[in-house]
Amino acid sequence: MAQDPPAQDLMHYEAMAQDAMRGVVKAALKKAAAPEGLPGAHHFYITFRTDAPGVSGPTDLLSKYPDEMTIVLQHRYWDLAPGETFFSVTLHFGGQPKRLSVPYAALTRFYDPSVQFLLQFEPPGGAAAAAPSAVAGPSEVAKPAAEPADGEAKIVSLDQFRKK
């Protein structure tokens, strides 16, 4: 008995879901940019592709992380400006303020460890990112990122809904 090939997704549900999840990040950044700042113990680890179109920042910083970088928004960040298609923020790296602009399309991960909330994004084209991430946080030089322990994070992934 021949099996019919899977129907082609002409609605592009995967892309719509990815956009919706990026909207969660945008909304969280808008709350963080409010005069009150981040509420309670909330803070964000934001991982993005440094080689993605539209990413901008100091060449010396981005060249240290040619593939992927994680920044931390917690106590010391300035001028956070979440726009419609990208956000900009000033962080200290090696004691120097540096401004980064990151399109939401460049995001690969958003994590709020205070509530164990994690969003993972498909890289453009659906290929898995090959490079390990690095963390660059307020007043520190980038270092390897700590991964959440198994079972601790609330992971929102679309893989469980895909047909096998």
In DSSP notation, 83-110 reads -SSEEEEEEEETTEEEEEEEEGGGEEEE
Between residues 153 and 54, the one the model is more confident about:
54
Q: Is the pTM higher than 0.85?
A: no
Which residues are CB-neighbours of 123 under 8 A, at least 6 positions away? Answer: 49, 108, 129
pLDDT at position 105: 95
Rounded-to-integer distance, Cα 21 and Cα 104, Å: 10
Share of the chain above pLDDT 70, in %: 73
CB atoms within 10 A of CB 85: 10
pLDDT at 135: 47
Given this model, what pLDDT does residue 124 score?
Answer: 59
Read off the tokens for 95. Answer: 């004691």
For the chain, give the number of residues.
164
Please give the domain boundaries of the chain with CATH numbers for all domains: 15-33+41-161 (2.30.30.220)
Residue 3: predicted pLDDT:
81
Q: Which stretches of 3-136 are DSSP H helices? A: 13-33, 59-64
Contacts of 63 (CB under 8 A, 6+ apart): none
Q: Which residue has the tokens 């690095």?
A: 134
Return the minimum-mean-pLDDT range out of 29-38, 78-87, 153-162: 153-162
44-49 sheet: strands from edge to edge:
143-144, 134-136, 68-73, 44-49, 107-112, 117-120, 154-156
46 has a pLDDT exceeding 80: yes
Alpha-carbon separation of residue 130 from 64, 71, 89, 118, 123 (angstroms): 16, 18, 26, 19, 10
Task: Provide the pairing of β-strand 154-156 with 117-120.
Answer: parallel
| Exposed e or buried b per residue across 62-72, where buried means at least 16 C-beta atoms within 10 angstroms of its C-beta | beebeebbbbb
Structure confidence by residue, pLDDT tens digits, 105-158? 999 999 999 999 999 998 655 544 333 344 444 333 333 344 444 434 333 444
Percent of the chain residues past pLDDT 90, beyond the cut? 62
pLDDT at position 96 over 60: yes
